[in-house]
Amino acid sequence: YLTQNYRYWSKRGIKGPRPLPIFGNILDIFIIPQPIQELNWAKKFGKLYGYYFKAQPILTISDPDLIKTILVKDFHLFADRSNIVASNDSIISKNLVQLTGDDWKRVRSIVSPTFTSGKMKKMYPRIRECLTDFMNHLEGFAVNRGEINVKDMYGNYTMDVIATCAFATKTGAHNTLDSPFVVMARSAFNVHPLLQIVTMICPKLLLKLNNIITPKQQNKGNFFIDNTRRIIQERRKNNQKYNDFLQLLMDVERGRDNSRDENDINESHHVNEGEEELAAERKALNISLDNKRLTEDEILAQALVFFLAGFETTATTLTFCTYELALNPHIQETLLEEINSSVDSYGEISYEELARLPYLDAVLSETLRLHPPALRLHRMASTDYKLGTTGLTLSKGQTVQIPVYGVHTTEEYHPNPFKFNPDRFMPENRHNIIPYTYLPFGAGPRNCIGMRFALLEAKLGLAHIIRKYRFFRTPNTDVPLQYKRAYRVNTPKSVLVGIEKR
């Protein structure tokens, strides 16, 4: 009985790793860090293989034509993300990542104008203010040509940025490590692998154990939800208005703001976008809206996911980028030259100029290729579906997975894939990138809605930090990097590099 479903893929002639009763292949991605396991499976089983999440069969595809079919051409049949790891909380379950069907379409349509270029430009001064605080904190390490764990440092920066831009709240993350805001944010991502496995196998049991073991500890999600609800109530009571995401969510109505402009259209994250992709997005979000505002629970859910997603992923990207620059000083100096040529007489870089720096864009794009924060994309078939020329028919409810890290590091798609080479993404070379083999933000109508904000935060931070400081390899710098064991998110262990003033 425990193994009868584990013949699902073998009956269909699909290869894959051998599952264990109850667990399926969950243990495989915790015993070995997932980026490494991705490579092992791709090398052994190719571009199409199946594995098991507990007893649930998951199909993995790496062919770019099939990826485009799932994410764009037949998006209407794969519009929902998988419910593999989903919250049952009445508020948290209303976030864009987890919503399905018409609920997702409605909320995505309403929230999308929050992330237009015009809205991002208004956030620019707030991010710059947080960056100044961060750089002042770096100064003490740089003066003494010290060694720093950049993962922790960047976590402070991105936490401050997202709290400021989402909730108009200063965390004091650089100086107040014991503040409830900082402690709860860090603990949300500092979960032992064993607890992650228990969460996946029997989440209800974990909740009961948590209430027994730590009865006085607030649930992490409830902590942020309660604080956000308090801020909303105070603003409504005092009729206060702020220029932040929370205010935009409170005020937003579905508009026709163009989410692209002539400045950022040339950035590398648009490599998968053509008229077909834009048409698919318009079709997916073109629905009749009776209620053009978000409920309070929906506002709370989006605010929570903005914070959690924006905090960890951007910090991880900046960490990986700094690591690669420390190992490749010639790339660091080339980047410095471009940045120095773009600053004004006050040492500042305008919002428009930042989006026009090709090498800065290329450096971050190559970082996201070699070290994508999200390791996998999941989509769920809404009906029985014949998958291209594979001869395989997916059943309704079947989960299809795209291994982003595996695709990004395939020799066929990206020659010499483990070499950090920003030139791949320079404007004159970008046409060589095969569509749908570069997916750091996903693709199609359900791509990452916070992509533009994440890139703005990362580019602004990197540009000013590299102007003032030089990073270098030390005897304690891990080569190769050591990864944490986690599901979905690509996270390194401590990343130690040297820092000095220029």
Identify which of 442, 267, 475, 248 has the alpha carbon closest to the alpha carbon of residue 352.
267
Both structure tokens of 50: 């199946």
Identify which of 116, 115, 95, 91 has the alpha carbon closest to the alpha carbon of residue 104.
95
| Identity at 154, one-letter amino acid code | Y
Q: Can you state the angle between helices 203-213 and 193-201, rounded to 10 degrees?
A: 130
Report the C-alpha gap between 65 and 82 in whole angstroms: 21
- Alpha carbon distances (Å) from 392 to 17, 196, 406: 18, 32, 22
Report the C-alpha gap between 28 and 459 in whole angstroms: 35
Report the C-alpha gap between 4 and 37 in whole angstroms: 25
DSSP 388: T
Phi, psi of 59 (to 5 degrees): -100, 130
Q: Given its phi and psi angles, is residue 381 left (phi above 0), alpha (psi -120 to 50 degrees) or beta?
A: beta
Both structure tokens of 299: 């506002």
Q: Given its phi and psi angles, is residue 444 left (phi above 0), alpha (psi -120 to 50 degrees) or beta?
A: left
Q: Can you state the angle between helices 296-327 and 329-340, rounded to 10 degrees?
A: 120
Burial group, residue 83, by CB count within 10 angstroms (0-12, 13-18, 19+) = middle
Report the C-alpha gap between 406 and 422 in whole angstroms: 19
Q: Which secondary structure element, helix H or strand E, spans residue 50, and what is its range?
A: strand 48-53
Residue position matching structure tokens 């720093």: 148
**Bond into 19 cis (ω within 30):** no
CB-CB contact of 398 with 80 (8 Å): no
Report the C-alpha gap between 4 and 55 in whole angstroms: 9
Report the C-alpha gap between 269 and 265 in whole angstroms: 9
Identify which of 489, 485, 477 has the alpha carbon closest to the alpha carbon of residue 148.
477
Annotated binding-site residue? 448? yes
CB-CB contact of 132 with 464 (8 Å): no
- Residues comprising the binding site for heme? 448
Residues making up the annotated binding site are 448
